[in-house]
Structure 1
């Protein structure tokens, strides 16, 4: 990142897990960060403090990415924050990270389950990005988070994987339509990662962890540091010509 001109990133779902790791990785590369959180305000403030300790500016805003009705109000908050804290009207990088998991067989997935996943992972990403477009600088970047599950199939993940597949298609369309503004749009697709996501299924279930390791070329499950750094690197100037790509960061799962 260039140090002579401050870059600002907005990372959704950054109070914990991959979002937190991404926010910290960006800060280490000289980027200021706006983090959003759904309910964990204290954790989000802790992330802000950690970013400030690195020497970058940061702020936290509450956001339910599954509720499109509040997006106009959220965008107004972002605009006000940019003016007050950075004396600017736009930010550089949007990372659509916020999400929830669901482990249910196809036959048992309810319409309510499906709608909740869709609102957060697909509809929310679609319309939040749309609402924030005027606040993203020309020449900025967008990174959408998908999953290895959009490439390989593991039982009990159908609804979640469908949403991520939609995000990957959306990424290509955004890259095409935002090209005239020189905004690059890419997808990062993590493999199985040791976090509290989905109740810590990979981190806390040794049987699951061993299975993931056995199916991964590099012989272990992923950790948050494997992903945050990859996203920060993708947003660096070195990768400015990468566009409309699905980049899987899984250590080589199911090859």
Structure 2
């Protein structure tokens, strides 16, 4: 297609579906911002692994300059790189030093986001997660704050702001509330007020007040994803306290979705079932436990971390722009 200055947004805003290849060639006029406008419109429509190619037909990706002597748009990033659908986005994932949270952080980073890797007490594992992201070509930094204690939100926000400044950022696009606490095997007869309060503090109060503090930093069109549990729709053998807190988080999700709709911010819950992580390894080492959980799942296996991370990445992307206030069941069909 032939485009001229001033009409790029109309011409390129919808190319009719994912694009595998874009050859940007020719004089792009005299306006310095025009080259950037073309890239910003075309790049989000590239399929993962697609290419923007310069006038010499050499595969490159998003980095770009204007050749002021010729007026051509020229790409500058290494050949073979690819544009990802979260490029330029900034994400915070709570409880992301290990397990499902780590998988989510790594997936969002792989899709192009700068990720704040939050941890409660284990700084070493958080730094390992950030290092893993960096080794894969992504960007991440760690933020330490124990949740469920006085001053937790203040500590987390202070660390987040410091990390954002170090990376030349000040705003968030994606907020994933993954951190959680569960006292297993504590039915109503034995669950203590202290244990109950701890779960409420981590699973309900922390997401609520962290969101409250970060709303001014969350860009319009942003994403909030709350990690919930299949236990909210099951009579759990493991006690009543944890499902109560996750049920509260679900209410928070759909109520906040309504409230933030005018800003274009989507809010959704991801319902998680039994998932294989380092934290469930002991339980799954028991053949009876493993078989019992597999038998309850329509797809006939235990969940894997990428199953959850992929769903969160979808909800964080523009592909999920028309989904809000939803409980997305990512359990493989538990107890259907």
Identify the TM-score tier after normalising by the shorter chain. over 0.9
Q: Which residue of 2 aligns with 1:9?
A: 91
Do structure 1's residue 216 and structure 2's residue 297 form an aligned pair? yes
1:78 has 2:156 as partner: no
Identify the residue that residue 110 of structure 1 maps to in structure 2: 192
Q: 1:95 aligns with which of 169, 173, 176?
A: 176
Distance 1:144 1:31 in 2: 18
Cα distance, 1:73–1:40 mapped onto 2, change above 3 Å: closer
More strand by proportion, 1 or 2?
2
CA gap of 1:201–1:99, structure 2 versus 1, over 3 A, is farther
The DSSP-based 3-state class of the residue aligned with 2:92 is strand
Partner of 1:30: 112
Shift of 1:159: 0.3
* Counterpart secondary structure, 2:170: coil
Q: Contact 2:223/2:315 (CA < 8 Å) preserved in 1? A: no
**Pairs aligned (count):** 253
Aligned to 1:240: 321
1:173 alignment partner in structure 2: 255
Q: Partners of 2:199 and 2:333 in 1: how far apart?
A: 26
What is the match of residue 23 of structure 2?
none
The answer to whether 1:194 aligns with 2:258 is: no
Q: Which structure: larger Rg?
A: 2
Quick check: 2:153–2:206 contact (8 Å CA) kept in 1?
Answer: no
TM-score, normalisation: structure 2: 0.72
Change beyond 3 A, Cα 1:202–1:238: farther
Which protein has greater RCO, CA pairs closer than 8 Å, 6+ apart? 1
**Matches of 1:205 and 1:93, distance apart in 2:** 37
Equivalents in 1 of 2:321, 2:94: separation in Å? 22
Give the 3-state SS of the residue equivalent to 1:107 in structure 2.
coil
Task: Give unpaired runs (5+ residues) of structure 1.
Answer: none
* Greater fraction helix: 1
RMSD: 1.6
Q: Is there any run of 5+ residues in structure 2 with no aligned partner, and where?
A: 1-42, 45-82
* Structure-1 separation of matches of 2:259 and 2:150: 22
- The 1-side partners of 2:282 and 2:192 are apart by 21
C-alpha separation in 2, matches of 1:195 and 1:106: 27
